[in-house]
Chains A and B, each alone.
Chain A
Amino acid sequence: MRRLLYLLPFLLFIGVGIAFYLGFERDPRDIPSALIDKPAPTFDLPAIPGQMVQGQPATSGLSSAKLAGDVTLVNVFASWCIPCKAEHPVITRLSREQGVTVYGINYKDKPEDALTWLSRNGNPYAAIGADQDGRVSIDWGVYGVPESYLIDRKGRIRFKHVGPLTPQVVEEQILPMVKHLRQG
């Protein structure tokens, strides 16, 4: 019995070691969102100046009113953001083939740059709001683009992904969650 007691510090050390080792697996950039399960912030963003929708100048951008009703994905992007370009085909597939409405928040971008970027890479967004000073994005808790938020039918944020969306994240996390939220 007493022998076992001498083993205790060693076992404690092993336990702490394992805990720290597992800590290596975690991405320090992945900060838990404070807004999960909370209503999406109230906002009303204008369209990107000069943006055309079906041949007409866009009249409305993106507001919180548009978010309620269906399960939607809100994607924060910018033309100057390299990973945004990498995730763009994934977003496009999500919107055009996988049947998820995707809204865009154009984060701190020059209007002309954003429009060139969209015409070059395609526009998968059902609507885009231009957040030129980044204030609305702060309300969303954005700290690095790209970021994506899944909004349920009641307009609550249910899931957040920081960094570019990958096919794997879409298959394993986004699509099952969308299915679940549509049922609920």
Chain B
Amino acid sequence: MTRLLLAALLALSALSSPALAVQPDEVLPDPALETRARTISQELRCLVCQNQSIDDSNAPLARDLRLLVRDRLKAGDSDDKVMEYVTDRYGDYVLLRPPFKATTLVLWIGPFAVLLLGAAGTFLFLRGRRGVAAGADTAPLSADERRRLDALLRKDD
């Protein structure tokens, strides 16, 4: 009985699809346009629930923006044109991938700069240590020290 139930559950779960924010009435009849719309929607941030794309979000504004993207595509806009249309109104903030420009330089370059700084620091530190290990700046043993060292080494034999 349990087995049968499990099998039925498994069969049912195979039939289900992930919950989509995109409603059936939003989907464009032209599959090529719809694919482009989905790709664009995944790049645009929902301004209400800020860490979701408008493709993922159930917020009413996200739906309005999805419809807007589709309307622009139907009007014959290129993908870049649609992005521009939205950023003209909401700024770079709506882009989930920030553009590379003067104001975002720290964002893009920062991690690499820190990595480089760390690498340089490590290099300098290690080079300094190797210098010590090689005895570059240690004085040679005096006659007295050498005699004591010899005595210690002989004791070991």
Which A residues have a C-beta under 8 Å from some C-beta of B?
28-29, 31-35, 108, 133-135, 138-141, 143-144
Q: Which residues of the other chain, A, contact B93 by a CB distance below 8 angstroms?
A: 31-32, 34
B65: CB under 8 A from chain A?
A: yes
Chain B residues whose C-beta falls within 8 Å of the C-beta of A29 in the assembled complex: 50
Chain B: residues with Cβ within 8 Å of the partner, total of: 15
Question: Which residue from B68, B88, B90 sits with its C-beta under 8 Å from A143?
Answer: B90
Q: Other CB < 8 Å A-B pairs besides A29-B50, A35-B89, 10 of them? A: A31-B90, A32-B93, A33-B91, A34-B88, A34-B89, A108-B60, A134-B60, A141-B89, A143-B48, A144-B61
Separation of A140 and B88 alpha carbons in the complex (Å): 10
Query: A34 contacts which of B60, B64, B91 (Cβ < 8 Å)?
Result: B91
Assess whether B47 is interfacial by the CB under 8 Å rule.
yes
Q: Which residues of A contact B64 (CB under 8 A)?
A: 133-135, 138
Verify if B78 is at the interface (C-beta below 8 Å from A).
Answer: no
Q: Given the complex, which residues of B lie within 8 Å of A34, measured CB to CB?
A: 87-93
Q: Give the contacts of B104-148 with A (CB-CB under 8 A).
A: none
User: What is the bound-complex CA distance between A28 and B47, given in angstroms?
Assistant: 11
B91 touches A32 (CB 8 A): yes
**Which of A35, A140, A143 lies in contact with B61, CB distance below 8 A?**
A143
Bound form: Cα–Cα A31–B5 in Å: 51
Which residues of chain A are near B61, meaning CB under 8 Å? Answer: 134, 143-144
Contacts of A141 in B (CB 8 A): 89-91
Q: In the complex, which residue of chain B has the Cβ closest to the Cβ of A9?
A: B121
Instruction: State A133–B48 Cα separation when bound (angstroms).
Output: 17
- Asked whether B47 lies within 8 Å of A143 as measured between CB atoms, the reply is yes
Contacts of B65 in A (CB 8 A): 138
List 7 A-B pairs, minimum CB-CB distance, nearest first. A34-B91, A143-B47, A141-B89, A31-B93, A134-B64, A141-B90, A34-B90
What are 19 A-B residue pairs whose CB atoms fall within 8 Å in the complex? A28-B50, A29-B50, A31-B47, A31-B91, A32-B93, A34-B88, A34-B89, A34-B93, A35-B89, A133-B64, A134-B60, A138-B64, A138-B89, A141-B91, A143-B47, A143-B61, A143-B90, A144-B47, A144-B61
